[in-house]
Amino acid sequence: MPKPTKVDLHNHTVLCNHAEGELHLYIKEAISQGITIYGVSDHAPMDFDPKYRMSFEQMNEYKSMVRFVQEKYKDKIEVLFAYEVDYLPGHMDKRVLDADVDYLIGSAHFIDKWGFDNPEFIGKYEGANIDTIWQEYFDLIKDMAETRYFDIVGHLDLIKVFKYIPKGDIVEIAEEALQAIKNADMVLELNVAGYRKPCSEPYPSRALLERAFQMGIPITFSSDAHKPEQVGLFRDEIESFAKEVGYTQCAYFKKRKRFMVDF
């Protein structure tokens, strides 16, 4: 029996300044968790909020780090090279968008310039209209999909991180964003980082994943590890979640080309 394909496409390195542990420890953990395709997708450089990401000068270092483990562990695991790119209009950079990667994850961590998932700025939710904030967030995801810069949508409903939940119907709020994701032929990641956060559930929620499934939007899996011991956590939970919704296949990318495999 061949080993089942286990894909994990969103993981960080120390270069982003808020992750810990040597890259080879992440890879070893992935191997011991039975992951067969492991993506390194660290936070791409950007001329905004530089302290939470690598610098443009570190892009070559990042590439060589990943190439080194790709070669060293190639008999045990396939390592892919990618970036998680912050979608922030006016701050997109060709050096990242045109980089020679396997794939790009597009994520929104800022509404205008507000880092809404950063506990330092949580005060902004108090007294704000949560429905409006959610709509602004999903409008941004729609714009991001329409740029067609990215292959994967990072943590689709990150806006729920601190459990500020709108009164309105979430699927309705996200509907146009999902339609744009479908039109752009992007993949949604099932990201388990939400289990480690106040929202204590994966991204996206069941209601959004069910809508994505109806629309025929493909998925992939992500640990979003910022420490080696986070690689492969909640794997059984997230696979069962995807199966309950109806998914049987997940995606990975090589040189921006998509492949689908059973999980």
What residue is closest to Zn ion based on CB? 107
Residue 258 sits at φ, ψ, to 5 deg, of -90, 140
Question: How many residues form the binding site for Zn ion (CB under 5 A)?
Answer: 2
Do 59 and 99 form a contact (C-beta atoms < 8 A)?
yes
Neighbours of 219 (CB within 10 A): 24
Residue 129 sits at φ, ψ, to 5 deg, of -80, 110
230 part of the interface to Zn ion, by CB under 5 A: no
Least Å distance, CB 135 to Zn ion, is: 20
Question: Smaller CB distance to Zn ion: residue 154 or 204?
Answer: 154
* CB hemisphere CA count around 199 (13 angstroms): 20
∠ Cα 186 244 38 (to 5°): 50
Question: Smaller CB distance to Zn ion: residue 20 or 185?
Answer: 20
Region from 70-78, 100-108, 170-178, 247-255 binding Zn ion, contact rule CB under 5 A: 100-108
Residues 13, 107, 205, 220: which binds Zn ion (CB under 5 A)? 107
194 token code pair: 């939400």
Question: Smaller CB distance to Zn ion: residue 39 or 154?
Answer: 154
The one-letter amino acid code at 141 reads: I
Write out the binding residues for Zn ion, residues 121-180 only, by CB under 5 A: 154
Which residues contact Zn ion by CB under 5 A? 107, 154
